[in-house]
Chains A and B, each alone.
Chain A
Amino acid sequence: MLPAFVMAHTPRNARVSSEAPTLRLGLVAVAIAALAGGCRGTRSEDPPVHLNPNMDFQERGEPQEENPFFADKRWMRKPPEGAVAVGLLKDDDHLYRGRNLDGTLADALPPSLKLDEKLLGRGETRFNIYCAPCHGASGHGNGPATRRGGGMQPPPADLHMKRLGPEPLGFFFHVISNGKGKMRSYKAQIPVEDRWAIAAWVRTLQQSHSTTPVAAAAPAAAGAAKGATP
């Protein structure tokens, strides 16, 4: 359908021959617009276009953004060596290092943590997030990472092996925090309370696999009593 004024000022004799190209031109224009515009959700490797810049990007540091001003490209400056923020001295050896005052590995939860259902539940979910990929949800050292890509060399430890049974609770906390053998430290990935919760869950897994249900409850209760006395 042509607009009235186009039809009106087209010479009568040229009308038949010029109408078709105009129509075609219009169709081509629509096709070009559609091609240039594309449809919503079309995949693209090009970053989103901000048609209205609108202060979308401001001179402001966001986490993990680059700062071109400093040589190390960080927004935050690293505190000087040895500086300690207020309240972050972490001088509680039991809580932060899993050790007693004499330096031996502690065999109880730090006094600030209480062994209860909540802590064990927390330990279970955290274990399944951070440990199960290698050690497996049951702790047998057969997580999904061991079954792909040629497996892990050396394989992750089976948490039910005899050698680990008598180890104190602090040992597991220590290994999670600092790594052991080829296992790397999880200190940065898991907050300290969660590491204790995981250690408690590891102990729970071990006991669930080595004793009768009735006997399993007793040491857990004893651990709770131990944890309550500093």
Chain B
Amino acid sequence: MPAIFPRWTNNVPIAIGLLAPLIGAGLIFIVWYWFSPSYTDVGYRPEQPVPYSHKLHAGDMGIDCRYCHNTVERAAHAAIPPTGTCMNCHDLVKTDSPRLKLVRESMASGESIPWVRVHQLPDYAYFNHSPHVAAGVGCATCHGRVDQMTVVEMVQPLSMGWCLDCHRDPKPNLRPLDEVTNMAWDVEKTPYDPDRDPMRKRKVNPPTHCSGCHR
């Protein structure tokens, strides 16, 4: 009786034994590396309808973040400013710049400028800016050096693991309460211990349980 399987099939179990772990590890690597927000989200840099430069306004001119994002200390959402905020100055500065055409049109018509949102958490994650700012987490900690960005981009993954890293050990990411909007503040240059800061009324104690963020 002739053999049902040819001779080379003897090698199949060995091949599977060798390849399966490799393929398995490869799949895990692919999901770990390419499915992570560190890959899908970081570096997202949409073109905005108006070429507003944070580098010019927040960096070179040193305008505080809260001049425009004025709700950040009081509300969950750090508001994208209305056109009126732009016009506080641009009614008087660069009044005929072609790059500001859309701003002037928006002011005249009352239609919002279609700014493109850069940072967006999933809808099942609750996030509130105000307690983070009150706890002394700097803007730059999550948003990067926006004062050096001509076009704003995502620099942190805003993933759950990344949130928890800080919620479990917030200390390294805390700074003096009056340095929150200071983009250049650097823990390396000015060592800071939140436990010894007399300005702080209570210890920062971020939630790490599920319903802290998934309410």
Chain A interface residues toward B at CB < 8 A: 3-5, 8-9, 37-52, 54-58, 60, 62-64, 125, 128-130, 133-134, 144-145, 148-154, 182-184, 186, 188-191
Tell whether, in the assembled complex, residue B77 and residue A5 are in contact, meaning their CB atoms are under 8 Å apart.
Answer: no
Interface majority SS (helix, strand, loop, mixed), chain A: loop
Residues of B in contact with A, size category: 35 or more
- B178 CB–A CB distance under 8 Å: yes
CA distance A150 to B44 in the complex (A): 33
- Residues of A with C-beta under 8 A to B14: 4
Partner of A184, one of B19, B62, B91: B91
Tell whether, in the assembled complex, residue A45 and residue B45 are in contact, meaning their CB atoms are under 8 Å apart.
Answer: yes
- B4 CB–A CB distance under 8 Å: no
Inter-chain residue pair count (beta carbon < 8 A): 122
3 A-B pairs closest in CB distance: A63-B77, A56-B122, A144-B61
Tell whether, in the assembled complex, residue B79 and residue A45 are in contact, meaning their CB atoms are under 8 Å apart.
Answer: no
- B5 CB–A CB distance under 8 Å: no
Tell whether, in the assembled complex, residue B124 and residue A56 are in contact, meaning their CB atoms are under 8 Å apart.
Answer: yes
Partner of B42, one of A40, A56, A190: A40
Tell whether, in the assembled complex, residue A5 and residue B38 are in contact, meaning their CB atoms are under 8 Å apart.
Answer: no
How near does chain B come to A20, taking the closest CB pair, in angstroms? 21
How near does chain B come to A47, taking the closest CB pair, in angstroms? 7
- B18 CB–A CB distance under 8 Å: yes
Tell whether, in the assembled complex, residue A152 and residue B93 are in contact, meaning their CB atoms are under 8 Å apart.
Answer: yes
Partner of B37, one of A39, A48, A190: A48
Tell whether, in the assembled complex, residue B92 and residue A63 are in contact, meaning their CB atoms are under 8 Å apart.
Answer: no
- B169 CB–A CB distance under 8 Å: no
CA distance A49 to B89 in the complex (A): 37
CA distance A3 to B88 in the complex (A): 69
How near does chain A come to B22, taking the closest CB pair, in angstroms? 10
B:92-126 near A, CB below 8 Å: 92-95, 97, 122-124
Partner of A3, one of B19, B30, B46, B77: B19
> Can you name 12 A-B residue pairings with CB atoms under 8 Å?
A5-B8, A43-B45, A45-B46, A47-B46, A48-B44, A55-B124, A56-B123, A133-B89, A149-B93, A149-B97, A152-B93, A190-B70
- Residues of B with C-beta under 8 A to A62: 77, 123
Tell whether, in the assembled complex, residue B66 and residue A129 are in contact, meaning their CB atoms are under 8 Å apart.
Answer: yes
* Contact A4:B123 (CB < 8 A) given known A49-B40, A63-B77, A189-B85: no
